[in-house]
């Protein structure tokens, strides 16, 4: 058994190591914001207004540990997250009552909007996955849902199940004032401390934020109406260009997008996998290639 939660042989590894994840992550926040209670939960219990980009980074850190960390690391982080969620409450502006943040229906919405955004953006940006692999990815992500307190059997585990779930949720979604502000923030964010050095180039971020927005489903963009529509084939071409450019960034340089504890965890993952016989000379990203796996694993996967 490998030291990482999701081994390089998993579909999760192929999706989560891909740099298209940054678009998928921002897209997921925009999609999640359409659920009023989920949006109010973030708005009322975090510094999202001042640091929306920081929340994306923290989400990326959690996904990174859940993919590349050890079982002990993700268990500890998941307990911390569940404890925080359990202690928080949301003021429901529709009823005037306070409710728990860790309601299963809210956790499920956040999970589904997140992982399906990763999958859809990655495939659209050019990551080659068969339909069976897409289903396998969502099935693997049921384990991630369990870390935040959901029962895996209650979570969509295939593309068809996910599509049915999202269709069932659409009548419950709407653009609140907070959701509209969220989209604006995500297209013009405040940089977290470890990325302050990028501040002079902040105007260049808007095209990225707009790309995330345009990658949303047609119905979600129609609800927001934040930007004029553009031809979707152009969006697909932009996603593919972004992915190619980002995947060419050296891994050690790309790691600086994460907080230091996550960078340290990624380095431990490289060391652990090397000890198990994986060829990490091309980094974690290089382990998409079965030829870099231990011979027994490569033959089994084949």
Domain match, 179 and 272 both:
no
6 in any annotated domain: no
- Mapped onto helix, strand or coil, the DSSP state of residue 100 is strand
Domain match, 227 and 161 both:
yes
| pLDDT of 193 above 60 | no
Q: pLDDT higher for 163 or 41?
A: 163
Which structural domain, as residue segments, surrounds residue 184? 11-193+200-256
4 in any annotated domain: no
Domain match, 211 and 99 both:
yes
pLDDT at 261: 86
237 in any annotated domain: yes
Question: Of 256, 274, 292, which marks where a domain is finished?
Answer: 256
Domain match, 216 and 289 both:
no
The C-alpha angle 44, 47, 53, rounded to 5 degrees, equals: 125
* % of the chain beyond a pLDDT of 90: 67
223 in any annotated domain: yes
Q: pLDDT higher for 65 or 122?
A: 122
Domain match, 269 and 153 both:
no
Domain match, 224 and 268 both:
no
1 in any annotated domain: no
pLDDT tens per residue across span 208-263: 999 999 999 999 999 999 999 999 999 999 999 999 999 999 998 998 888 888 89
pLDDT at 39: 93
pLDDT at 229: 96
Domain match, 66 and 144 both:
yes
5 in any annotated domain: no
| pLDDT of 180 above 70 | yes
CB 165, CB 156: distance < 8 Å? yes
Domain match, 76 and 150 both:
yes
Domain match, 163 and 179 both:
yes
Domain match, 186 and 267 both:
no
225 in any annotated domain: yes
Q: Please give the tally of structural domains in the chain.
A: 2
Domain match, 251 and 279 both:
no
pLDDT tens per residue across span 31-79: 999 999 999 998 888 776 666 666 677 788 888 889 998 899 899 988 9
* % of the chain beyond a pLDDT of 70: 88
3 in any annotated domain: no
Domain match, 212 and 295 both:
no
């Amino acid at each position: 058994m490998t030291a990482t939660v999701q081994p390089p042989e998993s579909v999760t590894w192929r999706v989560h190591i891909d740099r298209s994840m940054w678009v998928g992550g921002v897209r997921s926040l925009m999609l999640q914001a359409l659920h009023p209670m989920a949006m109010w939960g973030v708005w009322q219990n975090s510094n999202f207004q001042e640091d929306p980009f920081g929340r994306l980074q923290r989400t990326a850190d959690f996904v990174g540990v859940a993919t590349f960390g050890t079982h002990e690391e993700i268990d500890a982080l998941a307990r911390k997250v569940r404890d925080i969620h359990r202690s928080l409450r949301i003021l429901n502006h529709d009823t005037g009552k306070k409710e728990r943040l860790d309601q299963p229906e809210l956790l499920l919405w956040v999970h589904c909007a997140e992982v399906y955004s990763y999958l859809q953006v990655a495939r659209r940006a050019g990551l080659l996955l068969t339909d069976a692999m897409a289903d396998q990815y969502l099935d693997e992500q049921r384990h991630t849902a369990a870390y935040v307190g959901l029962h895996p059997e209650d979570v969509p585990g295939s593309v068809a199940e996910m599509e049915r779930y999202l269709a069932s949720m659409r009548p419950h979604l709407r653009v609140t004032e907070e959701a509209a502000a969220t989209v604006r923030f995500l297209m013009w964010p405040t940089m977290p401390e470890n990325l302050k050095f990028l501040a002079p180039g902040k105007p260049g971020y808007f095209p990225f934020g707009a790309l995330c927005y345009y990658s949303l489903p047609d119905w979600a963009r129609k609800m927001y109406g934040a930007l004029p529509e553009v031809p979707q084939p152009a969006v697909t071409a932009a996603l593919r260009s972004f992915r190619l450019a980002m995947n060419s960034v050296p891994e050690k340089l790309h790691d600086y997008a994460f907080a230091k504890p996550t960078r340290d965890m990624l380095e431990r993952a490289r060391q652990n996998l090397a000890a198990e016989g994986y060829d990490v000379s091309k980094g974690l990203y290089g382990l998409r290639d079965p030829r870099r796996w231990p011979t027994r694993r490569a033959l089994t996967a084949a």
